[in-house]
Structure 1
Amino acid sequence: MTSLPSYPNFAPLSLEMARELLPHLVKLPDGVSEYTFAGLYLFRHRYGYKASLKDEVLIISGERDGKRFFITPCCKTGIEIVNELFQDHDLWKLISPAFLEKNRDMLASAGLVPEQDRDNFDYLYLRTDLATLSGKRFHKKRNHVNAFENTYPVFSLKPLDFSTRDDARAVLESWVSHEALPEETDYQAAAEALDLMEHFSMSGLVLYVDSEPVAWTMAELVADGKIAAVHFEKARIEYRGSYQYINYAFARSLPETVEFINREQDLGDEGMRQAKMTYRPCGFVEKYRLEKHAQ
């Protein structure tokens, strides 16, 4: 029995939809961080995600800050469905380069010109860069890693699994206690990711000092295994260098078949943008948008 309704009907995202959604997401070439089942499901409350299927076109509808939007992860579509969606949506978001290429003729004939959505570009890094931190470009990052090793010589790493999940939760609770507006963070999504680990194809690490958990990370492979998308990375801020070390350790733990690490977007936050740039991205996963009035 299908749990994914046919367009024009939509239904809230549910765990039961995973089997039907995965074929539409798993082979997408661009590595867009949102285009995984975990990336959609874990943020369903924040964006009010609902799903529908029109032939082979997956449509996700959501709302944020009083504006309704839709996203189309894959496949060719027609101008008729786009026009219908714009009747009750304000924005077409997260349009990938691959989607643009497949629908170039349709967009051109309709006079639609999506614009770059820089605030939502995902940051791409070479796995080998983050795993070695070699050269002058990464001198400061390497210093943080060295300082962590020197300050906390009795440290260890364990896989993030059912046996270490509670340790990751403890780090998450410590992290959120320093947040002024927890509801505006990814705390709820991170907590649920830990609670529902068995439902997602994610892996990660937990970092310990002595026997105390101090940081963790969780990611999944996208773009047919070429990119590791880091969905969550949390640390206890009182342990100097813990963020830099878990980043470094996770990159080192990945197989050589992974070429890039996707550390997601900055959402227009200038502080976050500067922090992501200090890791010297090799490129971006570009995303585009089209507003209703632009038609």
Structure 2
Amino acid sequence: MKELKLDDYSIIKPYLDLANYEGYNSNFVTMMMWNHEYHIQYEIHEHFVVMLHNYKGTQFWAMPFTSPQYYREAIDYMLEYSHKNQFEFIIDCAIDTFVEYIKPLYQDKLLFARTPENDDYVYDRMMLQTLSGKKMQKRRNHYNAFLKENPDYIYRDLDLVNDFNMILECLNRWESEKEDLSESMTSEVKGIMYLLSSRHMLEFEVGGIFINGQMEAFIIASRLKHSTIQIHVEKANKDIRGLYPAILKEMLEHHFPDEQYVNREEDMGLENLKKSKLSLHPIKMIEKYRIYEKDEYIGQASDDDLESIIHLWKDNFPDETEETTNYYFQYLYHKEYTFVLKNKNHLISMLQIVPISIQIHNQIRECYFILGVATKKNFEKQGYMKKLLQFVLEQYNNQIIYLQAYHPEIYKPFGFNASHYHQKIAVDKEKLIQSPCIPIDDISLLKDYYEAFVQQFDEYRIRDEYYWKLFIQRCLVFLDNILIFKDHGYLIYHENDESIEISEFIYLTKDSINIMLSYFSNSTKNIILECDINVEIEGQSSLIITMMSNQVKLDTFDKHKYINEIY
């Protein structure tokens, strides 16, 4: 491998042209600006060029620079080189078109992770240049305010010989004013100074805005492939309103007349930067991926996996809070019922399958319930959950298995069909009685009322002592309320600004239904009742699938089945 230098451009350029990549990371100006940090090495082969980055002890590849017909030849070489030199094979900042091309070639060898924090924001050049249209109104207002306050400003191209010291002075002043001067900002300053000192060998444009003879903003841009301009640097006095729109507008008005788009690079996962870039209304994003070599493990979870499993749980189930997550992993999680799919010891997917007792036609059957199915979002749509689920189903062959049916179509190919239904009713409050029963505080009745209620069904879950021991705590953690009505039953509900949502409705007689619901008859909020499909109450009703089973051959609508829990 040879260190990448400025004077290598002429021999590398033909391969950059062959690759014709859209992302800004493939711009030679970008490479040189950040080379002090990434220490890029390269090799030239007959059909391709490869580049290896060395960042803080981690090595990773750029996409190979070649035409698509030689992708396989180049990647095979990169794999071989990584193995020979004993470092993990990674291609970073791979654009979506490259990934879609090589996926069929390497579906059994490579793993593709979406990295949205690296996506490029691409804008319509004329929109940013003219600031016309409704979408640009806020930015146009800032620019007009700038013109009003600074009618005599001057924009000019900067001369790197005569203006170098002035640029350095302004850069140091603006950056030193920031309270949180991060490592990346310091590195950016180094990159800027390298570009400016290398102006004679690199193709880019530099312009500045002067107010009362003092430079208050400067910008560096270069030409990318695909009729695009890349903005490498925008620096300005943040105290001058409208200066940022002005400096970009001036650059676009004075340079690159034939280009149609503007690439403003990525947001690095920073929420404020993301918000700022989205406010300029990108016309498209160049999606990026990180590519790994596959080294998969599927099996039972270990103690070492717990932290990663909890993180994946939180990331995939946004309704879970810190409290509900802690509750689950303290009281209900068991590693022996948890299966994981990992790549090089990094968790990708998890699945938990827990034992439950089901009463089926007067017999207690030991069955299993799948819950907590999740895949890391940046690895979705690559078949990893399918692979893990198939593995687990093989381990539990011939067992009765249930799962929650949020997306029924996903599980039908695995032999699951709808087994249990609920109805969700928007209750007509006007049809409720006006003298409701008063609830009581006797929680000892909960278990008795549930067991009396389920006697009308042929297939239901048996709730053991441990379930009832945790019942009150579970409701508290989930911010659910319990109302117990003597000789009628109980209900569990929570409230939001608009609705009272009842998630469990246990009644002892038909009359109890109206009596218990009448507790809410004077509320101004809507009453949304989720209940078994035997309930008859005035209101708009819709059916929902609550459970699927691998023992049901076709979707089965049966009023004599009842299960109502996630865990």
SS of residue in 1 equivalent to 2:29 = helix
Work out whether residues 229 and 261 of structure 2, in 8 Å CA contact, stay in contact via their aligned partners in 1.
yes
Moved more, 236-245 or 40-49: 236-245
Deviation by residue 1:133-161 (Cα, 9 ceiling, x = unmatched): 11221111011111111111220100133
Q: Which amino acid aligns with 1:128?
A: M
Inter-partner Cα distance in structure 2 for 1:178 and 1:85 = 45
Work out whether residues 208 and 218 of structure 2, in 8 Å CA contact, stay in contact via their aligned partners in 1.
yes
Inter-partner Cα distance in structure 1 for 2:291 and 2:81 = 12
Aligned to 1:154: 152
Inter-partner Cα distance in structure 1 for 2:183 and 2:224 = 28
SS of residue in 2 equivalent to 1:228 = strand
Aligned to 1:29: 20
Work out whether residues 232 and 264 of structure 2, in 8 Å CA contact, stay in contact via their aligned partners in 1.
yes
CA spacing shift, 1:96–1:85, aligned 2, 3 Å:
farther
Aligned to 1:132: 130
Shift, 1:187, TM fit: 0.8
CA spacing shift, 1:95–1:247, aligned 2, 3 Å:
same
TM-score of the superposed pair, with normalisation by structure 2: 0.47
Inter-partner Cα distance in structure 2 for 1:159 and 1:205 = 4
The answer to whether structure 1 residue 50 and structure 2 residue 41 are counterparts is: yes
Shift, 1:101, TM fit: 5.1
Aligned to 1:5: none
The answer to whether structure 1 residue 80 and structure 2 residue 76 are counterparts is: yes
Aligned to 1:6: none
Deviation by residue 1:230-285 (Cα, 9 ceiling, x = unmatched): 11111122323222211222222344421100001111111111111111100012
SS of residue in 2 equivalent to 1:52 = strand
The answer to whether structure 1 residue 200 and structure 2 residue 199 are counterparts is: no
Deviation by residue 1:142-199 (Cα, 9 ceiling, x = unmatched): 1111111111122010013334444333322222212433542111001111111111
Equivalenced residues, count? 284
Give unpaired runs (5+ residues) of structure 2.
296-342, 345-567
Inter-partner Cα distance in structure 2 for 1:161 and 1:37 = 21
Moved more, 72-81 or 270-279: 72-81
Shift, 1:104, TM fit: 4.7
Identity of aligned residues (%): 23
Aligned residue runs from structure 1 range 60-139, under 5 A: 60-75=51-66, 76-78=71-73, 80-87=76-83, 88-100=87-99, 102-108=101-107, 110-139=108-137
Shift, 1:290, TM fit: 1.2
Deviation by residue 1:81-110 (Cα, 9 ceiling, x = unmatched): 2422443135211212343355354224x4
Inter-partner Cα distance in structure 2 for 1:90 and 1:44 = 20
CA spacing shift, 1:270–1:90, aligned 2, 3 Å:
farther
Q: Which amino acid aligns with 1:181?
A: L
Aligned to 2:181: 181
Inter-partner Cα distance in structure 2 for 1:138 and 1:29 = 31
Work out whether residues 24 and 120 of structure 2, in 8 Å CA contact, stay in contact via their aligned partners in 1.
yes
CA spacing shift, 1:167–1:37, aligned 2, 3 Å:
same
Work out whether residues 207 and 213 of structure 1, in 8 Å CA contact, stay in contact via their aligned partners in 2.
yes
Work out whether residues 155 and 210 of structure 2, in 8 Å CA contact, stay in contact via their aligned partners in 1.
yes
Work out whether residues 27 and 223 of structure 1, in 8 Å CA contact, stay in contact via their aligned partners in 2.
no
Work out whether residues 111 and 292 of structure 2, in 8 Å CA contact, stay in contact via their aligned partners in 1.
no
Pick from 197, 220, 223 the counterpart of residue 221 of structure 1. Answer: 223
Work out whether residues 117 and 267 of structure 2, in 8 Å CA contact, stay in contact via their aligned partners in 1.
yes
Shift, 1:73, TM fit: 4.2
CA spacing shift, 1:58–1:82, aligned 2, 3 Å:
same
Aligned to 2:140: 142
Inter-partner Cα distance in structure 2 for 1:156 and 1:26 = 37
Work out whether residues 125 and 262 of structure 2, in 8 Å CA contact, stay in contact via their aligned partners in 1.
yes
Q: Which amino acid aligns with 2:61?
A: F
**Alignment RMSD:** 2.2
Larger RCO (alpha carbons 8 Å, 6+ apart): 1
Q: Which amino acid aligns with 1:84?
A: E
CA spacing shift, 1:72–1:54, aligned 2, 3 Å:
farther
The answer to whether structure 1 residue 291 and structure 2 residue 317 are counterparts is: no
Shift, 1:15, TM fit: 1.8
Inter-partner Cα distance in structure 1 for 2:52 and 2:136 = 40
SS of residue in 2 equivalent to 1:103 = helix
Work out whether residues 22 and 95 of structure 2, in 8 Å CA contact, stay in contact via their aligned partners in 1.
no
Inter-partner Cα distance in structure 2 for 1:235 and 1:184 = 18
Deviation by residue 1:56-77 (Cα, 9 ceiling, x = unmatched): 2221112335432111243223
Give unpaired runs (5+ residues) of structure 1.
1-9
Highest Rg: 1 or 2? 2
Aligned to 1:41: 32
Work out whether residues 221 and 229 of structure 1, in 8 Å CA contact, stay in contact via their aligned partners in 2.
yes
Inter-partner Cα distance in structure 1 for 2:170 and 2:80 = 45
Aligned to 2:406: none
Deviation by residue 1:11-55 (Cα, 9 ceiling, x = unmatched): 222123122122222464343112122211221121222112233
